[in-house]
Chain A
Amino acid sequence: MISIKDLYKSYDGNEVLHGVSLDVAPGELMVLIGPSGCGKSTLLKCINRMVNFDSGTIHVGGRDVRQYREEVLRRGIGYCIQEVGLFPHMSVYENIATVPRLLKWPEPKIRERAAELTGIGGLPAGYLTKYPRQLSGGEAQRVGVLRALASDPPVLLMDEPFGAVDPLNREKLQKEFLRIQTELKKTVIFVTHDVDEAILLADRITLMDKGKVVAIDKPVGLEALLDDGFVGGFLGLEYPLRLLKRYEVGELELCDVDEGALDKDAGAVQISPETTLKDLLSMMIRSDKDYIQVRKPDGRYCRMGLEDIKWLLHYAKR
């Protein structure tokens, strides 16, 4: 869906992008991550030509972005930024209607779409008549995402969209976005510097440093590269532990054990679908045994050791 080849860009002699190549499949959520100044944000801006690159090519949907008129290209690509940038003099509805209006959609169709979007974004319908200054930071960011989705573009570019939101709301927004993404299957390029956010959201992660791609892999796959000085330094050597947080019991197939086979003295911990592999590991450490016994949400029992958690981590479907 998005194909970037050998991209170069420099500002006043400083090379920001140094031969970047990247392919993103349709429906894939690609996270760009790296230390600040690594060029991830510039790379994102090259895709809708908010930044003009020096050489190389970018194809979106099979067509070279340089063939489009800038405005036409941008109207076809959803874009949302950390600062949100809602138009303060327009209601939430008018903000959402911006791109559809530029695309000359008929007004009834826009109204229908706006109603649909508030449903998707979990905003009460009354919010459409509110103005940006009446929204909290989290709500404004939500509207920013909905505005980017307004014309139902196949491609979505997101530049640290949840970076300015407080940690509690950030996690809520991330999970909500994940739900929306599972439903809509957009092709997303998502820039962040937050490793946990990358692990939670990414289908694949592109790790960048000094204008170059260091690694492209699934979150689990990057674990193998931790011996590399830069990768280990940036992702942190506790990366495998952070990885565990991505997987929730609800999405995994845990083994079953008969109630009779349980160790009666150890007892069993009740877990919920939101319990993560990281939680299970913590329980194991606290229980002072090399296995734990849990009562799953469906009422059945499971007995797991460290090996099982590692197996789940590497062979889980996501």
Chain B
Amino acid sequence: MRKAGIRDKVGLILMSAASFMPLASLKASRLDRGSPFFLWDLPPEGLLIIGSLLALILLSGVAYARFGRDIGRYLSPRILWSLMPAALIAAVSAAGAGSTAPEGARLGLGAGFWLLCAASLILTGRDGVPNSALLAAGASLALCAYLGLMDDLSIYRELVSRRTVFLSEVANHMKLAVLSAFAATVPGVLLGYWCHVSPKARRWVMGFINLMQVIPTLSLLGLIMLPLSYLSRQLPVLADLGIRGIGFAPAFIALGLYCLLPVTANTLAGFSGVDRKALFSADAMGMTGRQKLIRIQAPLAFPVIFSGIRTALSQNIGNATIAGLVGGGGMGTLIFLGLSQAAPDLVLLGALPVILMALLLDGFLGYLEKRVRMAVLHTDD
């Protein structure tokens, strides 16, 4: 391996610290706090699984040092680290199988497990987690699930028992986040352009949008609920359309308002950033204002605007959780249900997919953004 960077050091330190934290706990029921056990409490077969993965990583590291290159694309030490979550699950499930716990007992994953997973993901890349590592981690976890190694995990039981709700809430969550971001795009771009052409508008509009951003999400929801419930009572036709003080509508509006800032600010930045010399030439060559807008300003501002839409979408995935509070659906429903029942695994079942969705969407949009930049500006990077 190359000389360990700061990132690798952080990963290794985190990993050593996490090794001393409770790996999992054996719980008699869903709400039982359970008895924690540690890495060294694992049965021999569990230790063997983790030990052999570490040995493989060490071996591949030695091979790298000996031959100066990886012995195979999927056998590099970095990629092998991504198999750690699956190995840990296999080991934990071995512990569960070896225990004398009664039927219906389940395994709650502890802080040690999650931190070890995080540390090994940190160790998979020099910057960011490479796609191949994500793929390997995902595939190995899917294999664990297929082999039934997850059956005793508390979080997996929660998933199985709420499968239908889970899937529909995932869909709701995406729908809420994506639709509200798109709905904010058109007004956001128009406002951004208005700010660009009028300094006076810039002061007011940006002031308003920044204000929007500092209102806490909950307060904003409250502020929106009041007029909406009043409106729906005055105009029953709105209520029939599903626009009420609670539910989808207030969440949708609040998320849209939060999206205004990145879209508007980036549109403004995009238009302000257009090369002044190019604008001067456009004037000097006899373009009308509209021709200049369509042929020069809009294409040159587009990559920056797109990156604003990307920010809006990514932050929306996280923010959409709050919709669960007002009956707007989404993963928040599961999280807040879990909180009210003091069932940490249900909270995790709601939270983990949010992280996953945010990462996947941001990765995909990042890729698109790169393509857009290349298509418009013809850069090679």
Give me the interface of A with B, judged by CB distance under 8 Å: 48, 50, 70-76, 79, 81, 83-89, 98-99, 102, 131, 133-134, 147
Q: Is the CB of A89 within 8 A of B377?
A: yes
Interchain nearest-CB distance for B3 vs A (Å): 35
Contact yes or no, A81 B286, CB < 8 A: no
Is the Cβ of A102 less than 8 Å from the Cβ of B278?
Answer: no
Among B277, B278, B285, B376: residue with most chain A CB under 10 A: B285
Find the B residue at minimum CB distance from A98. Answer: B285
Q: Which of A73, A87, A133, A134 has the most CB of B within 10 A?
A: A87
Partner of A102, one of B275, B287, B378: B287
- Collect the chain A residues with CB atoms within 8 Å of residue B379's CB: 133
**B291's closest neighbor in chain A, by CB?**
A102
Contact A81 B277 (CB under 8 A): yes
B184 to chain A minimum Cβ distance, whole angstroms, is 26
A48, A70, A72, A89: the one contacting B376 at CB < 8 Å is A89
Nearest Cβ on chain A to B204's Cβ, whole angstroms: 28
**CB of B42 within 8 Å of the partner chain:** no
The complex places the Cα of A134 from the Cα of B287 at a distance, in Å, of 25
Q: Which residues of A contact B283 (CB under 8 A)?
A: 50, 74
CB closest residue in chain B, given A50? B284
In the bound complex, CA of A194 to CA of B360 (Å): 58
15 A-B residue pairs with CB within 8 Å: A50-B284, A74-B283, A74-B284, A75-B286, A79-B281, A84-B277, A85-B278, A85-B280, A87-B282, A88-B300, A89-B299, A89-B300, A89-B377, A102-B291, A133-B377
Q: A88-B275, A89-B299, A133-B378 are contacts. A81–B280 as well, Cβ < 8 Å?
A: yes
- Cβ of B288 within 8 Å of any chain A Cβ, yes or no, is yes
B286 touching A88, Cβ below 8 Å: no
Extra 18 A-B pairs, beta carbons < 8 Å, given A87-B296, A102-B287: A71-B286, A71-B287, A73-B286, A74-B284, A74-B285, A74-B286, A79-B281, A81-B281, A83-B277, A83-B280, A84-B281, A85-B284, A87-B295, A88-B300, A88-B377, A89-B376, A102-B285, A134-B378
Which among B281, B377, B379 has the highest number of chain A CB atoms within 10 Å? B281
Q: How far is the CA of A81 from the CA of B287 in the complex (A)?
A: 16
Report the minimum CB–CB distance from A61 to chain B (whole Å): 16
Contact in complex: A72, B286 (CB < 8 Å): yes
Over the window 315-334 of chain B, the binary record of Cβ atoms lying under 8 Å from chain A Cβ atoms (1 yes, 0 no) is: 00000000000000000000
Q: CB distance A48 to B284 under 8 Å? A: yes
Residues of A within 8 A of B277 (CB): 81, 83-85
> With a CB–CB cut-off of 8 A, which chain B residues contact A87?
278, 281-282, 295-296
Q: How many angstroms between the C-alpha atoms of A88 and B376 in the bound complex? A: 9
Known: A88-B377, A89-B377, A131-B378. A99 touches B278 (CB 8 A): no
9 tightest A-B contacts by CB?
Answer: A85-B281, A74-B286, A75-B286, A85-B277, A83-B277, A131-B378, A71-B286, A79-B284, A89-B299
Which chain A residue lies CB-closest to B275? A88
Interchain CA distance A76-B286 in the complex, whole Å:
8
Chain A residues with CB below 8 A from B291, complex form: 102
Most chain B Cβ neighbours within 10 Å, of A81, A86, A98, A131: A98
Q: Residues of B contacting A79 with CB < 8 Å?
A: 281, 284-285
Question: Which one of B280, B281, B286 has the highest number of Cβ atoms from chain A below 10 Å of its Cβ?
Answer: B286
Query: For B286, what are the chain A residues with a Cβ–Cβ distance below 8 Å?
Result: 70-76, 99, 102
Contact partners of A50 in chain B: CB under 8 A? 280, 283-284
Pick the contact of A75 from B278, B285, B378 — CB < 8 Å? Answer: B285
Known: A86-B278, A87-B296. A81 touches B377 (CB 8 A): no
Docked complex Cα distance between A131 and B299 (Å): 15
Nearest Cβ in chain A — how far from B183, in angstroms? 29
Q: CA of A190 to CA of B380 in the docked complex: distance in angstroms?
A: 37
Q: Which B residues, 299 to 322, have Cβ-Cβ distances below 8 Å to chain A?
A: 299-300
Determine the chain B residues whose CB is within 8 A of the CB of A147 once the complex forms.
285
CA distance A281 to B300 in the complex (A): 54
Beta-carbon contact of A71 and B288 below 8 Å: yes
Question: Within 8 Å CB of A72, what residues of B?
Answer: 286
Beta-carbon contact of A99 and B285 below 8 Å: yes
Q: Give the docked Cα–Cα distance between A50 and B283 (Å).
A: 8
- Closest chain A CB from B278 CB (angstroms): 5
B267-278 vs A, CB cutoff 8 Å, 1 = contact: the mask equals 000000001011
